[in-house]
């Protein structure tokens, strides 16, 4: 739309040309090519907090105190100063520019966690319609908790976990939701999803998805809990029938079981009665005493099994082959299906959930997203029979002196220099191939499973490739979130995806890797226009819209214009101004970009606790 790169010419042209229909936001965003955060202030003196995020409307900067007990909220302002000289541009900035307070004003500090609790500093959700923020505090998780009350063994248990709803304007805590002896995967919003005003919290330990609604008045209201029961009145129904069962065991049990399984198994439109799966449940009931909790599978599992059953039943027309097909595809894997657990959940719209199921081992040992490098494209499934070479475990033992003058053996510390090969093999051999994951689309209103895919399903990948934005499921209220570049709305991102696809050795591995990012975590991408792929080109490995720690480099990260002339627009340089003297210690960096201002913070850590360098990048 703009013919020249000069900002004044663009402003004049904007007065006379209307953009093509539907592209007014994109045309306005092109002005970000002219206004870039090209100036860097190195090593700003800032308070020792861990800065989490800018809120998505750019109003607040959220940070937590170093001891993870307080929340401190800042408002981004701008450096302002006056200069009486003739030629102000060539002057250096005043010394107050090097202070954090010139750019951010502290609004308040609230203590969220009591003595033995800590704020989870990687968790924060923002509801921009009312400016509410959701934070989580928890006690320390205990690893070996007994699996009581229907809990899945193997998951750690957190004695008390609280979700706080805070009004960010003034820091008033509006409501809280407490979970006891439970486990929710908190880092990077993995176990919680916010859609509009609905909040989905996945309790991994008790295998329940709690749906809560955030009212405008600031209350957290329970809507439903999907897991053991799907409809709201399932529990009432089963308990009232349990009484009748106990009285007249054998006679009533088969009829009421058919009745209950009719309701629980969600037969769609067809009035067929299937004898086979009910025998399973019936046998279970006959063997055990009428403790219906244990003999019934959970509601969501019943829905899933009956969906798989019906799908296989309908695929095969021939009656005789039908049972064979069922045996091969359903009953052979029955125990694997029963052992599946809910792993992660996201909203697709107000009534539909995308649930990822996995095996217990797959969930427990899954790598959290990209904190460590992941081994991709290493396919061990082709090896059917392999024996480990014993010498792989051989290692050197070195004795490191603990004191300057080490005379006795106890002054030495042994370290073993284990080779890298066995670590790679042991990590990859328990990789995802042995524990397939499944995706199910679940309708909360009709409590039916709509679709079920394995994580290597091509048709789910086609939907993901075409409609990626709908998987990100942004609420309709937030305008800016709809313009985050993804491969469904941006040709450059799509080309990148195609190049990865062409380079992939096996298509099922590629599909699994791509679908491994589903379900998406909520609010994990920055809406800053500097990450818009159609405006700028940048190195995805060093910086991107997803907020996660990356290995840092001494070279500045370049942002190059996409459109001709493809010139370098601005650079983000991390290290201290003169370049770091010590090139060998590995540094990790993270970035916080303001949603719409040309303002960015960059952090560089040498160890995981304190940032060593904080830089501010802004437009001078």
What lies within 8 Å, CB to CB, of 218 at 6+ separation is 130, 132, 165, 167, 174, 175
Do 100 and 592 touch, CB atoms closer than 8 A? no
Binding mask 347-386 for another protein (x = CB under 8 A): -xx--x----------------------------------
Residue nearer to another protein on the CB measure, 408 or 445: 445
Residue nearer to another protein on the CB measure, 43 or 316: 316
Do 543 and 559 touch, CB atoms closer than 8 A? no
Do 593 and 54 touch, CB atoms closer than 8 A? yes
Residue nearer to another protein on the CB measure, 82 or 320: 320
Look at residue 9 and give its three-state secondary structure. helix
CB of 319 to another protein, least distance (A): 11
What does 54-70 look like in DSSP terms, one character per residue?
E-TTSS-EEEEETTS-E
Look at residue 40 and give its three-state secondary structure. strand
Residue nearer to another protein on the CB measure, 453 or 618: 453
Residue nearer to another protein on the CB measure, 283 or 466: 466
Is 314 an interacting residue with respect to another protein (CB under 8 A)?
Answer: yes
Question: By CB under 8 A, which span of 308-316, 509-517, 552-560, 605-613 interacts with another protein?
Answer: 308-316
Q: Could you give the CA distance from residue 51 to residue 522 in angstroms, rounded to a whole number?
A: 19
Binding mask 74-113 for another protein (x = CB under 8 A): ----------------------------------------
Phi-psi label, residue 562: left if phi above 0, alpha if psi -120 to 50, beta otherwise: alpha
Is 323 an interacting residue with respect to another protein (CB under 8 A)?
Answer: no
CB of 317 to another protein, least distance (A): 5
What lies within 8 Å, CB to CB, of 264 at 6+ separation is 230, 234, 296, 299, 302, 303
Residue nearer to another protein on the CB measure, 367 or 465: 465
Among 176, 315, 361, 554, indicate the residue that binds another protein (CB under 8 A).
Answer: 315
Is 513 an interacting residue with respect to another protein (CB under 8 A)?
Answer: no
Q: How many residues bind another protein (CB under 8 A)?
A: 21
CB count within 10 Å of CB 228 equals 19
- Select from 300, 326, 301, 303 the least CA-distant residue to 313: 326
CB of 221 to another protein, least distance (A): 23
CB count within 10 Å of CB 332 equals 10
What lies within 8 Å, CB to CB, of 403 at 6+ separation is 411
- Select from 243, 187, 194, 198 the least CA-distant residue to 52: 187
CB of 465 to another protein, least distance (A): 8
Question: By CB under 8 A, which span of 173-181, 197-205, 209-217, 313-321 interacts with another protein?
Answer: 313-321
CB of 356 to another protein, least distance (A): 15
Do 472 and 485 touch, CB atoms closer than 8 A? no
DSSP H or E segment with residue 71: strand 70-76
DSSP H or E segment with residue 167: strand 158-167
Among 470, 541, 555, 620, indicate the residue that binds another protein (CB under 8 A).
Answer: 470
Residue nearer to another protein on the CB measure, 354 or 542: 354
Among 3, 317, 390, 586, indicate the residue that binds another protein (CB under 8 A).
Answer: 317
Question: By CB under 8 A, which span of 36-44, 131-139, 345-353, 413-421 interacts with another protein?
Answer: 345-353
Among 108, 380, 388, 467, indicate the residue that binds another protein (CB under 8 A).
Answer: 467
H-type helices in 384-523, by residue range? 421-429, 458-466, 468-472, 491-503, 507-515
Q: Could you give the CA distance from residue 260 to residue 100 in angstroms, rounded to a whole number?
A: 64
What lies within 8 Å, CB to CB, of 226 at 6+ separation is 208, 209, 211, 299, 300, 353, 442, 444
Number of H helices, E strands in the chain: 15, 27
Do 137 and 158 touch, CB atoms closer than 8 A? no
Among 462, 541, 563, 620, indicate the residue that binds another protein (CB under 8 A).
Answer: 462
Residue nearer to another protein on the CB measure, 426 or 499: 499
Site for another protein in 422-461 (CB under 8 A): 441, 450-451, 459
Is 506 an interacting residue with respect to another protein (CB under 8 A)?
Answer: no
Residue nearer to another protein on the CB measure, 204 or 353: 353
CB of 469 to another protein, least distance (A): 9
Among 79, 174, 392, 463, indicate the residue that binds another protein (CB under 8 A).
Answer: 463
Residue nearer to another protein on the CB measure, 232 or 349: 349
Question: By CB under 8 A, which span of 50-58, 202-210, 281-289, 465-473 interacts with another protein?
Answer: 465-473
Is 329 an interacting residue with respect to another protein (CB under 8 A)?
Answer: no
Question: Integer distance in angstroms from the first to the last C-alpha of the chain?
Answer: 27
Residue nearer to another protein on the CB measure, 85 or 318: 318
Is 540 an interacting residue with respect to another protein (CB under 8 A)?
Answer: no
CA 61 to chain centre: 20
CB of 337 to another protein, least distance (A): 18
**What is the 3-state composition of the chain as percent helix, strand, coil, each rounded to the nearest 5?**
30, 25, 45
Among 318, 408, 445, 582, indicate the residue that binds another protein (CB under 8 A).
Answer: 318
Among 311, 537, 548, 619, indicate the residue that binds another protein (CB under 8 A).
Answer: 311
CB of 463 to another protein, least distance (A): 6
Q: Where on the chain is the footprint of another protein (CB under 8 A)?
A: 311, 314-318, 348-349, 352, 441, 450-451, 459, 462-463, 465-467, 470-471, 494
């Amino acid at each position: 739309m703009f013919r020249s790169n000069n900002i004044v010419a663009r402003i004049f042209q904007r007065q006379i040309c209307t953009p093509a229909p539907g592209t007014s936001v994109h045309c306005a965003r092109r002005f970000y090519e002219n206004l870039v955060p090209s100036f860097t202030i190195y090593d700003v003196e800032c308070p020792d907090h861990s800065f989490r995020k800018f809120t998505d409307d750019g109003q607040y900067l959220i940070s937590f105190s170093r001891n993870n007990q307080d929340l401190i909220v800042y408002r981004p302002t701008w450096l302002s100063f006056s200069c009486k000289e003739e030629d102000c541009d060539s002057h250096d900035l005043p010394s107050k520019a090097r202070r954090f307070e010139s750019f951010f004003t502290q609004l308040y500090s609230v203590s969220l966690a009591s003595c033995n609790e800590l704020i989870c500093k990687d968790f924060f959700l923002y509801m921009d319609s009312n400016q509410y923020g959701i934070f989580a505090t928890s006690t320390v998780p205990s690893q070996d908790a007994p699996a009581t009350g229907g809990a899945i063994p193997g998951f750690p248990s957190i004695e008390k976990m609280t979700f706080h709803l805070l009004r960010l304007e003034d820091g008033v805590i509006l409501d809280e939701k407490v979970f006891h002896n439970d486990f929710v995967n908190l880092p990077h919003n993995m176990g919680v999803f916010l859609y509009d005003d609905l909040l989905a919290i996945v309790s991994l330990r008790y295998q329940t998805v709690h749906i809560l609604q955030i009212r405008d008045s600031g209350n957290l209201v329970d809507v439903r809990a999907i897991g053991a029961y799907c409809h709201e009145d399932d529990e009432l129904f089963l308990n009232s029938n349990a009484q009748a069962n106990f009285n007249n065991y054998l006679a009533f049990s088969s009829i009421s079981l058919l009745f209950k399984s009719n309701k629980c198994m969600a037969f769609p439109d067809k009035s067929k009665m299937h004898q086979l799966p009910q025998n399973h449940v019936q046998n279970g009931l006959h063997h055990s005493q009428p403790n219906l909790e244990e003999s019934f599978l959970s509601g969501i599992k019943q829905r899933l099994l009956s969906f798989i059953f019906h799908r296989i039943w309908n695929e095969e027309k021939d009656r005789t082959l039908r049972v064979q097909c069922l045996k091969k595809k359903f009953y052979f894997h029955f125990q694997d299906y029963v052992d599946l657990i809910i792993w992660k959940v996201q909203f697709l719209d107000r009534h539909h959930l995308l649930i990822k199921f996995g095996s217990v081992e797959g969930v427990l040992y899954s790598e959290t997203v990209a904190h460590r490098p992941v081994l991709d494209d290493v396919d061990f499934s082709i090896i059917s029979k392999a024996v480990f070479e014993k010498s792989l475990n051989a290692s050197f033992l070195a004795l490191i002196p603990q004191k300057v003058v080490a005379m006795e053996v106890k002054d030495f510390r042994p370290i073993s220099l284990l080779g890298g090969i066995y670590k790679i093999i042991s990590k990859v051999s328990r990789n995802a191939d042995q524990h397939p994951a499944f995706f199910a689309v679940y309708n909360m209103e009709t409590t039916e499973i709509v679709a079920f895919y394995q994580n290597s399903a091509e048709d789910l990948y086609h939907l993901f490739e075409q409609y990626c934005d709908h998987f990100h499921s942004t609420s309709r209220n937030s305008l800016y979130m709809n313009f985050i570049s993804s491969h469904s709305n941006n040709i450059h991102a799509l080309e990148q995806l195609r190049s990865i696809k062409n380079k992939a050795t096996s298509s099922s591995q590629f599909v699994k890797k791509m679908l491994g990012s589903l379900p998406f975590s909520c609010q994990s991408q920055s809406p800053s226009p500097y990450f818009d792929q159609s405006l700028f080109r940048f190195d995805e490995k060093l910086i991107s819209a997803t907020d996660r720690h990356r290995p840092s480099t001494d070279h500045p990260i370049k942002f190059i214009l996409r459109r001709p002339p493809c010139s370098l627009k601005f650079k983000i340089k991390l290290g201290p101004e003169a370049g770091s003297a010590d090139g060998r210690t590995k540094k990790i960096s993270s970035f916080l970009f303001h949603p719409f201002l040309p303002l960015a913070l960059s952090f560089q850590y040498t160890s995981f606790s304190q940032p060593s360098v904080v830089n501010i990048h802004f437009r001078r």
